[in-house]
Amino acid sequence: MKLVELIRGMDMKIDLTKETISMLDKTLDEKIAYINQETWINYPLAQNTLNQFENILKHEQGKTRVTSVLLVGSPNNGKTSILQRFIDLHPSYDLFATNPEKLTKEFFEKYNATGIPLIYIVSPSEPSETRLYGEILKSINTPFKESESVSRKQYLVEYYLGILNVEMLIIDEIHNILSGSVARQKQMLNAIKNLSNNLKIPIILSGTKDALRAVSTDTQISSRFRPAYLTKWKMDKNYVNLLATILTTLPLSKESDILNPKTAQEILNISDGNIGDIIGLLKKATIYALKNNKEKITIDEIKNCGYSSTANTKQYEALLDI
């Protein structure tokens, strides 16, 4: 089915969210601040990925051989946003503060009163076991000395993650390990594997497609991490629905004209199919329209707002020394 027929066959009535409606009477500066806020946009692939994370979180803890996940996607295609959403769904808890009436001896014997379910770190820029442990300790505000031995840092990590009832470790930008030698890469991957084995918790690794190359260097590692792919967007029903969903979050009083084949394709071309650039482009086009006293976005705002996508930025990397 051609896109024009697809769009005509879909009910594309756009209803702004209640929060967005409340912004229509605000000042320009208030609208711009609202547009620039980070907003979770749900879509089928993101929800499927979150469901996969949830399943592993619930069913893999405590196993002798824990299955984990390797999240793979292009830069600016939603990896970190999905990870942050998952973290937001599993906040830290302190039952001392929220349920003081339950604090009995029996309660402490049977239940965990405080905890940080998920720990998030960015992989060190160079593969290093000691730097990996250091990043984890910093994420939980644990005092330690940089000069301490690797074994001491490993002990501190496993001790504190245990008493804080950590259920999953998330390591973003795992492709960073490729900046080191093969020996260093294997050393760090073994450290990650050992943490999962010793703590009996799943781990999420996240990175670009280069992360697949990094993890595949060790068969014992690659067999434990199931790949989850965030593919680029293409011209189909899900893409059109995504555009419609984003429009519900933009404080424009008139109906925008982007759900047509020409404009939808232009957005796809500029963004290179990356959701981060799709959202960024529509936000900038909205701000451009508002600054020009317009209450909708069309192909003109898309072309003239001056958005620079991740793909366009890469095209100019060769000119950085000029």
Per-residue pLDDT, 133: 97
| Position 284 confidence tier, pLDDT thresholds 50, 70, 90 | very high
Over residues 111-140, mean pLDDT: 91
321 has a pLDDT exceeding 60? no
pLDDT of residue 237: 92
Region 167-190 average pLDDT: 93
pLDDT above 60 (res 3): no
- Could you tell me the pLDDT band of residue 144, with boundaries at 50, 70 and 90? very high
Cβ-Cβ contacts under 8 Å for 29 (sequence gap 6 or more): none
Please tell me the CATH superfamily of domain 44-230, with its number. Answer: P-loop containing nucleotide triphosphate hydrolases (3.40.50.300)
**pLDDT at site 119:** 97
Segments making up each domain of the chain, as ranges: 3-39+249-315, 44-230
Q: How far apart are CA 62 and CA 294, in angstroms?
A: 57
Tell me 100's DSSP state.
Answer: G
Tokens of 6: 């697809």
What is the reported pTM?
0.87
- Phi, psi values for residue 228, rounded to 5°: -130, 120
Average pLDDT over residues 291-300: 97
Lowest mean pLDDT among 106-110, 141-145, 150-154, 258-262: 106-110
Pick the closest to residue 79 from 52, 42, 49 (CA basis): 49
User: How far from the centroid of its chain's Cα atoms is residue 23's Cα?
Assistant: 27
Provide DSSP, 210-264. Answer: HHHHHHTT-HHHHTTEEEEEEPPP-SSHHHHHHHHHHHTTS--SS-----SHHHH
Given a cut of 70, whether residue 123 has pLDDT beyond it is yes
The tokens describing 310, both together, are 């991740």
**What's the pLDDT score for residue 250?**
97
Q: What is each CA distance from 178 to 207, 216, 226, 236, 282, in whole angstroms?
A: 11, 12, 20, 35, 34
CA distances from 50 to 42, 212, 230, 270, 283 (A): 10, 20, 12, 27, 25
CB 282 within 8 A of CB 250: yes
**How do residues 226-242 score in pLDDT, each as one tens digit?**
999 999 999 999 999 99
Note the pLDDT tens digit of each residue in 197-229.
Answer: 999 999 999 999 988 888 887 787 888 999 999
Distance CA 80, CA 46 (A): 11
